């Protein structure tokens, strides 16, 4: 049986650290989550002054992106444009807000990253920054 590549802890820490470094000086509160391709948590960081709802939102954005192999915002757009609720996916962790990105290496989704706490555009930008730091 072929092995499915997955993100490792060292790679996940690079993502989390890059996002944390980007917001540390600003004092903005965010949560960043990195999950494996199944959507299960590998690494998580909650900064000071992070809104409580952002904790689960970051984890769920990463989960949604990894499981569906697409950006969480794209998943939300498909749901709204197709007029079907995300609940049809069968798991309440699916979320359609911006800030979740799949982690793709050699055309394989090895995990997902989710950022929450700021605007959707800022969350997406921070998630992209984290992916870039992974190398």
CATH code at 126?
3.30.450.150
Residue 54 confidence (pLDDT) above 80? yes
CA 126/CA 93 separation, integer angstroms: 21
CA 111/CA 60 separation, integer angstroms: 13
Query: What's the count of helices (H) and strands (E) in the chain, helices before strands?
Result: 4, 4
CA 26/CA 20 separation, integer angstroms: 10
With respect to residue 3, please indicate whether it lies within any of the assigned structural domains.
no
Beta carbons within 8 Å of 10's beta carbon, 6+ residues apart: none
With respect to residue 1, please indicate whether it lies within any of the assigned structural domains.
no
Residue written as tokens 């190398």? 135
The pLDDT of residue 2: 61
Residue 58 confidence (pLDDT) above 90? yes
Confidence class for position 135, pLDDT limits 50, 70, 90: confident
Residue 60 confidence (pLDDT) above 70? yes
Q: How many folded domains does the chain comprise?
A: 1
The pLDDT of residue 89: 77
Residue 46 confidence (pLDDT) above 70? yes
The pLDDT of residue 61: 98
Residue 50 confidence (pLDDT) above 90? yes
With respect to residue 96, please indicate whether it lies within any of the assigned structural domains.
yes
With respect to residue 2, please indicate whether it lies within any of the assigned structural domains.
no
Q: Which domain holds residue 84?
A: 9-134
The per-residue DSSP string of 48-96 comes to TT--HHHHHHHHHHHHHHHHHTS-HHHHHHHHHHHT--GGGGS-TT---
pLDDT in tens, 75-126: 988 888 887 788 777 888 999 999 999 999 999 999 999 999 999 999 999 9
* Cα 73 to the center of its chain, rounded Å: 11
Residue written as tokens 């470094």? 21
């Amino acid at each position: 049986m072929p092995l499915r590549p997955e993100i490792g802890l060292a790679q996940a820490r690079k993502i989390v650290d890059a996002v944390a470094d980007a917001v540390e000086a600003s004092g903005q509160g965010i949560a960043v989550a990195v999950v494996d391709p199944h959507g299960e948590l590998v690494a998580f960081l909650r900064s000071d002054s992070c809104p409580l709802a952002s904790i689960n939102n970051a984890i769920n954005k990463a989960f949604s992106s990894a499981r569906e192999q697409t950006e969480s915002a794209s998943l939300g757009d498909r749901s709204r444009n197709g007029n079907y609720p995300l609940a049809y996916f069968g798991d309440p962790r699916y979320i359609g807000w911006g800030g979740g990105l799949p982690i793709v290496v050699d055309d394989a989704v090895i995990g997902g990253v989710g950022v929450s706490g700021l605007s959707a555009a800022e969350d997406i930008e921070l998630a992209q920054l984290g992916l870039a730091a992974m190398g």
